[in-house]
Structure 1
Amino acid sequence: MADIPKECKGAVVVDEGPNFRVEVRNVAVPEIGPEDVLIKINATGLCMSDVHFMSNDWGIAPMSYFGTQCAGHEGAGVIVKVGERVKRLKVGQRAGFKPIAETCGWCDLCISGQDQYCAAAKLTGFLTDGESTGYQGKRLHANAAIGTYKQYLRSPEAYTTLIPDGVPDHIAGPVMCSASTMYSSLKESGLRPGDWAVFVGGGGGVGIQGVQLASAMGIRPIVVDSGREKRKVALEYGAEAFLDFKESKNVAAEAVATCGGIGAHGVFVTAGEGYPTALSFLGNRVGGKVMCVALPTVGLYPMNVNAAELITKKKSISGTMVSSMADVHKTLEFAQRGILRLRPEIVGLSKFNDAVQRLKKGEVAGRIVVDFNLE
């Protein structure tokens, strides 16, 4: 077993709120329990959810209330230490860190494959790095859900995801959240081969992986976004059309026309700004569905819903939150088969804050990943 350092690198949130930044500092390496493993993170994806949490714009308690230092929930690395009662996992195996760090494992939701909704779930990067009275006075497990902006993480054996051969860390990291989230949403939508799917915000890190997965499933993706680079990436990754909302006079009408003049079978909202107009992309499609994926800023982007339209056209609105452990495994299989051809921008530790700020400003096409082994 390799020597484990007492400290490691972590991107610590400074001045949480609208003007936050992250600084790479030395932080403590967590201790593990007898049924835990210690994962050394090689790469972490950057997700817009991290930005919302660090900005404190979700209407929940601020990061400092939870005691959180390091955000992040898309990690990929290697197991470097195992607890004395660990039976299945071994040092040297590659493992990932998901948005859900731990669940109870025995409730109805856990045993029915909906473990991401477990009431006892610990959310990665949302809880404290150490013991704390925590949210609503509840005591939190030490190192319960350290974010993947930190290089060493504790993970319970029962909820640790192994990464298969052939899936590099810079792809496996984003699979833990964004790609598997889109897989779950596509699966829950019930769309079939040949159906049209509009991805609002589809040029970003979450949507672009949905485009690839939809194309692989025989679904016909249309991306609604803006910018030459996002257009290039979307078309390269399988979109049949790219509609620039900044250039279009009526982007919803263009989308409906592209979908045979009837409308999309499904709309996947992967950017919060898309919620107010999401239903319009369904046009007159009977049974059309809006799938809510992006978590919007509290109080912004309400959906305009006409109940009569839902009734007479059998339209529906649904949501999915991240993905189950089983769906993460299934999405990793897509990556192993080369269906997820994600080529993220990879940066080193010195560019950590710059990368997060670019993501915040909407300047990232596709996904961006930080490599802990690069300066």
Structure 2
Amino acid sequence: MKAVVNYESGNKKVELRDVEIPELGPKDVLINVQAAGVCGSDLHMYHDIQGFEVKRPVTLGHEFSGVIAEVGSHVKGFKPGDRVVSETPSYVCETCIYCRTGDYNLCPNRRGFGVLENGAMAEYVKSREAILHKIPDNVSFEKAALTEPSCVAYNAVAHHSQIRPGDYVVIFGPGPIGLMCTQIAKLFSPGKLLVVGTRKDQNRLELAKQFGADEVLISEEADVVQKILSRGDGFGPDLILDAVGISITLKQSIEAVRPGGQITKIGWGPKPINFSLDPLIQKAARLQGSFSHNYPMWEKVLLMMEKGDIDPLLIAKQYPISDWEKAFNEMDSLEQAKSILLPNQ
């Protein structure tokens, strides 16, 4: 079968290859992939600038949906022909305290699709029954493939953040996660919702407006911290969501956040921050990390898609798998917010 493979370390060491269809264990399912999203982490691996361990060669892709082609001998809840979407942990130990209490996304032995296990930018992918969800009838495969980034945003906004109607909320970064955070934050009726990006983000900042941002700021054209503080009562945002992987946005977040407010950090970045956290302490503000998601969040997000409360497909452009390089490069250049590969085209 055809697969987009990151075959060794180094810049742009990715190509379309013929690989074997995976074999199933008793609790596994084989999914005929209908749509696979390109994540920012896939682009980081494409350029070999990721801040996490990678087991190469590896088929990329952890955002996907499809149709079950085959099930293992112990699978009871799914059958061939079911339309499904899969969570991202290809393997968890199932015995640590995090697995036993439902926070298996924090399992220290977790291995994710497209990083430490073969992923879904391929015609077929093997997943586990325990992490499958049925796709609502009115949700397309392309939209369902973006359940994963939607869940990342849901976890950050609805689970890890304290957000109330009327709050002043700022989002750094109008990438796919930042845009989904915008959609979800809007559901909480914030008093003001502001999104910060760069000149290169112009197209994506326009999407942020469509998703409910009251205002957007271009970082090169203003003193971002002063602009943020000039809104509202002058004390700063109640909540800042940092969906950027560079240290400057965290520094700006600490400078801008309201005393007693919260910063939720979502974006990854391997470089040291090189600045003091004393202002965070002085403000008695909370810095909260947010990573991945778990089963109940997927069920909630799929329900929200079914009802039309959120629509991640509005940020995406679709490509046949043969155009994977174009899909990567156009997303990498910020020409569009999100790329989706269609392995059967």
Whether TM-score is above 0.5 comes out as yes
Aligned to 2:251: 276
Aligned to 2:231: 258
**Aligned pair in 2 of structure 1 residues 276, 93: CA closer, same or farther (>3 Å)?**
same
CA contact 1:68–1:125 (8 Å) conserved in 2: no
The alpha carbon displacement at 1:75 in A equals 0.7
Name 1:243's counterpart in structure 2: 217
Q: Confirm or deny: 8 A CA contact 1:54 1:71 kept in the other structure.
A: no
CA distance in 1, matches of 2:240, 2:118: 33
How many Å separate the matches in 2 of 1:316 and 1:182? Answer: 18
- Aligned: 1:197 with 2:190: no
Between stretches 252-261 and 71-80, larger displacement belongs to 252-261
Whole-angstrom CA distance in 2 between matches of 1:303 and 1:289: 21
2:339 matches 1:346: no
Residues in 2 aligned to 1:312 and 1:276: alpha-carbon distance in whole angstroms: 14
Q: Could you tell me which residue of structure 2 aligns to residue 11 of structure 1?
A: 4
SS in structure 2 opposite 1:243? Answer: strand
**1:180 shift after superposition:** 0.5
TM-score normalised by length of structure 2: 0.91
Change in CA separation of 1:23 and 1:306 when aligned onto 2, cut-off 3 Å: closer
Instruction: Give the residue type in structure 2 aligned to 1:222.
Output: L
Matched position secondary structure for 1:28: coil
Q: Is the 8 A contact 1:22 1:352 kept in 2?
A: no
Is structure 2 residue 117 aligned with structure 1 residue 161?
A: no
Aligned-residue offset at 1:185: 0.8
The amino acid across from 1:237 in the alignment is F
* 2:37–2:146 contact (8 Å) kept in structure 1: yes
Displacement after TM superposition at 1:106 (Å): 4.1
**CA distance in structure 1 between the partners assigned to 2:274 and 2:330 by the alignment:** 27
User: Displacement of 1:208 after TM fit?
Assistant: 0.3
Does the alignment pair 1:40 with 2:32?
yes
Shift of 1:105: 3.2
Q: How much has 1:183 moved relative to structure 2?
A: 0.5
1:58 aligns with: 50
Match 2:204 to one of 205, 215, 230: 230
- 1:137-148 to structure 2, matched below 5 A, reads 145-148=117-120
- Unaligned 5+ segments in structure 1 are 1-7, 128-144
In the TM superposition, 1:70-85 aligns within 5 A as 70-85=59-74
- SS of 2:61's equivalent in the other structure is coil
Residue 147 of structure 1 aligns to a residue whose secondary structure is coil
For 2:208 and 2:42, the matched residues in 1 are separated by 23
Secondary structure of the structure 2 residue equivalent to 1:189: coil
User: Cα 1:22–1:289, aligned 2, differ >3 Å: closer, same or farther?
Assistant: same
Q: Secondary structure at the match of 2:136?
A: coil
2:92 aligns to what?
A: 103
Amino acid across the alignment from 2:2: K
Q: Tell me how far apart the structure 2 counterparts of residues 156 and 358 of structure 1 sit (CA, whole Å).
A: 32
The CA deviation at 1:305 is 3.6
Secondary structure (helix, strand or coil) at the match of 2:220 reads coil
SS at match of 2:180: helix
Q: Which residue of 2 aligns with 1:139?
A: none
Letter of the structure 2 residue corresponding to residue 295 of structure 1: W
Query: CA separation in 2, counterparts of 1:364 and 1:215?
Result: 25
Kindly state the Cα deviation for residue 99 of structure 1 after the two structures are TM-superposed: 2.6
AA paired with 2:310? L
Take 1:224 and 1:358, find their aligned partners in 2: how far apart are those partners? Answer: 21
CA distance in 1, matches of 2:52, 2:213: 36
Change in 2 beyond 3 A, CA 1:299/1:228: closer
Size of the aligned set, in residue pairs, is 337
Deviation of 1:210 after TM superposition, in Å, equals: 0.7
Cα RMSD over matched residues?
A: 2.0
Q: 3-state SS of the aligned residue for 2:67?
A: strand
**Residue ranges of structure 2 left out of the alignment (5+ in a row):** none
1:79 CA displacement? 0.7
Partner Cα separation in structure 2 for residue 107 and residue 15 of structure 1:
32
The alpha carbon displacement at 1:260 in A equals 3.3
Aligned-partner Cα distance in 1 for 2:232–2:323: 41
Q: What is residue 182 of structure 2 aligned with on the other side? A: 211
- Alpha-carbon contact 1:175-1:332 (below 8 Å) kept: yes
Q: Using the alignment, how far apart are the partners of 1:238 and 1:293 within structure 2?
A: 20
Which range is displaced more, 112-121 or 98-107?
A: 98-107
Cα deviation for residue 319 of structure 1 reads: 0.4
Q: Distance in 2 between matches of 1:121 and 1:310?
A: 31
Alpha-carbon distance, 1:241 to partner: 0.8
Matched, 1:356 2:328: yes
Contact 1:102/1:159 (8 A) holds in 2 = no
